[in-house]
Amino acid sequence: MGVGITEFLTNQLGAEHPQVIPISVFIAILCLCLVIGHLLEENRWVNESITAILVGAVSGTVILLISKGKKSHILVFDEELFFIYLLPPIIFNAGFQVKKKKFFHNFLTIMSFGVIGVFISTVIISFGTWWLFPKLGFKGLSARDYLAIGTIFSSTDTVCTLQILHQDETPLLYSLVFGEGVVNDATSVVLFNAVQKIHFESLNGWTALQVFGNFLYLFSTSTILGIAVGLLTSFVLKTLYFGRHSTTRELAIMVLMAYLSYMLAELFSLSGILTVFFCGVLMSHYASYNVTESSRITSRHVFAMMSFIAETFIFLYVGTDALDITKWKTSSLSAGGTLGVSGVITAMVLLGRAAFVFPLSILTNFMNRHAERNESITFKHQVIIWWAGLMRGAVSIALAFKQFTYSGVTLDPVNAAMVTNTTIVVLFTTLVFGFLTKPLVNYLLPHDASHNNTRNRDKRTEPGSPKEDATLPLLSFDESASTNFNRAKDSISLLMEQPVYTIHRYWRKFDDTYMRPIFGGPRRENQPEC
C-alpha cells in the first residue's frame, strides 16, 4: 500500500518491512495534525477538516521535494479501505451521538432536505455539467458518469458549521443541519449505487421509475436491517446482562454488532451507511441503557474517538493527494480547463443547494403553521442551512475514487481529470467556505440575540401535555365504542393540525408502553433529554 518515498526511506533506514515505513510516517503526521488542531481549537476559525487538509498539503510538499517530484503522498487511497474501515465508525457515531428528541421531532423536515434535496441537487448538477462541460472542451464522460457526478457532489460535509453553531441557543437550526448532513450522505451513497444499476443501453420511459424504485428498495431494506440489528443487540444486552461479569464484553458486543450490521448490508448489496446509522440510533436509544454506567460513558468516547480519527485520516490524505503529480500529468485538462470545470461544478453545487433549501423551508413553514410548538425556519436560518451544505468532504472523495479510479489509480485522462477536479472542489469549499462560515453565522445570528430568542421560546406554553393524552392513540377495551371513537376522532384532528408533533408524541407513548420493557431504557419521565 505504501508508495512514493518508501524506497528512499527504506534505503536510508534499512527497514526489513517496507510497508511499515509509510504507515508509520502517516501515523506520525496524523498525530501532528491532532496536536496542531488542539492548539487551534480556541481560535474556532479552523476546524479539524481544515487543519488536516493544510497539514496534509504541507506534508505532501515535503514528500514531493524528498522524492524529487515523483510522488506527493505516502499511501495510495483505496475506496474499499474507505467504505469498509473508515466510513462505518463515522456514520455509526453520528447515529449513536444524535440528539434523538430533536432529530425525530424534526424528522420530516430533515428527511425532506436529506432525501428530496439530494434528488433535486443531483438532477441540477448532472444536467448542468452535461450541458457546460462540452462547452469548455471537456468531453469523454458517459451518461452514467454525469449522473454519478450529480450524486458525488450532492454529498455535503457540515462539520465546520456544526462546530460554530450553539446547540443550546439554536436547537432547531443545529438539529436540521446535523440531521440533514447524515441523511444527505446516506442518500447520496444509496443513489450513487442505484445509478450503477441503470442499463443505459436500453433507456426508456421507465428508467427514472426504476432508479426511484431501486432507491426506495435500498433505503427501506437498509433501514429495516439497521433497526433489526440495533434491537437484537439491545435485547441480548438486556437479557444476558454482560456487565455482571465483564464490562469489556458488553462494549465489545456493541462494537462488533455495529460493524456486523454494516457488513451484512454490504453482503446483501444494501446501503451499509444507512444500516449502521439506524443501528447506532437504536443502540443509543435502547442498548446503552442495558450496560453499566462505566460502559455507557466509555462507549460514547470510544465511538467518538474512532470517528474523529477516521475523518482526520481522510482529510489528511486529501491534502497530500492534492499534489499528486501523476494525476495532474495524466489529466486531459490544462490548468485553465481544470479551473473552468471545477468552477462549473462549484456553481452547480451552489445552485443545486439553493434550489431545494429555500422552497422546502417555505413548504415546511406552511405545513407547520398551526403547530404552536414548532419554530419556523427563518430566512436567516435558511441561509445558514444553505451555506452549511456547500462544503464537500470525505464521501465525495470516496465516491469519486470509486467511480473514476481502480484502487486509487487511473491511467485514463478523463477519469484523472475528474479526480483532480473533485479534489479541487473539496479543497476550495472546505477551505474558503469553511473560513467564511464563522463570520457569516456571527453576522446572521448574533450571540445575544439568538440566546434571547431561545429564552423567549422556552417560556412558551406547549399544547397538549403528553401526560394529559397518555391514552392516545392507544384504544382501550375497557371503554365503550363511542369513547374510543371520540378518542380516535380527536387523534386524527390533532394529527392533521400538528402532524410532526402528534406523531412524535404518540411514538413516545408507544415506546414507553411496549418497546422499553422489552429492549431496555429508562421510563420517559426519568430520562434526560437526549
- The tally of CA atoms less than 13 A away on the side-chain side of residue 276 is 32
Contact 166, 159 (CB under 8 A): no
Residue with cell 408524541: 505
Rounded Cα distance between 3 and 225, Å, is 39
pLDDT in tens, 115-151: 999 999 999 999 999 999 999 989 889 989 999 999 9
- Please report how many Cα atoms fall inside a 13 Å half-sphere around the Cα of residue 344, on the Cβ side: 24
| Burial of 82 per CB tally in 10 Å (0-12, 13-18, 19+) | buried
- Measuring CA to CA, which residue among 87, 140, 200 is closest to residue 418? 140
How many angstroms separate the CA atoms of 424 and 436, rounded? 18
Residue 167 · residue 98 · CB < 8 Å: no
Q: What is the CB neighbour count within 10 angstroms for residue 89?
A: 26
Q: What is the pTM of this model?
A: 0.80
The full set of domain ranges for the chain reads 1-67, 79-444
Q: Which residues contact 242 (CB under 8 A, 6 or more apart)?
A: 249, 250, 253, 291
> How high is the mean pLDDT in each 10-residue block of the chain (530 residues)?
50 58 83 85 69 85 77 68 85 84 81 92 95 92 92 86 73 85 86 83 73 85 94 92 81 93 91 90 89 88 90 84 77 86 96 94 82 74 92 86 77 88 91 85 71 45 40 48 54 51 72 85 56
Please give the pLDDT value at position 471: 43
Q: Which three cell numbers stand for residue 339?
A: 479551473
DSSP letter, residue 461: P
Q: pLDDT tens for residues 186-244?
A: 889 888 988 888 877 776 767 778 778 888 888 899 999 999 999 999 999 988 888 77
- The CATH classification number of 79-444 equals 1.20.1530.20
DSSP string, 455-486: HHHHTSPPSS-TTTTTTSS---TTS-HHHHHH
Whether cis (ω within 30° of 0) applies to the bond prior to 473 is yes
**Closest listed residue to residue 127, CA positions, set 455, 427, 348:** 348
pLDDT, position 410: 74
Residue 179 and residue 440: Cα distance in Å, rounded? 21
DSSP for 9-50 reads HHHHH--S-TTHHHHHHHHHHHHHHHHHHHHTTTT-SS-HHH
505-508, Cβ contacts within 8 angstroms, sequence gap of 24 or more: 505/464, 505/466, 505/469, 505/472, 506/472, 506/473, 507/104, 508/466
Joined together, the cell numbers standing for residue 273 give 451507511
Cα(380)–Cα(360) distance, integer angstroms: 15
First to last CA, the chain: 42
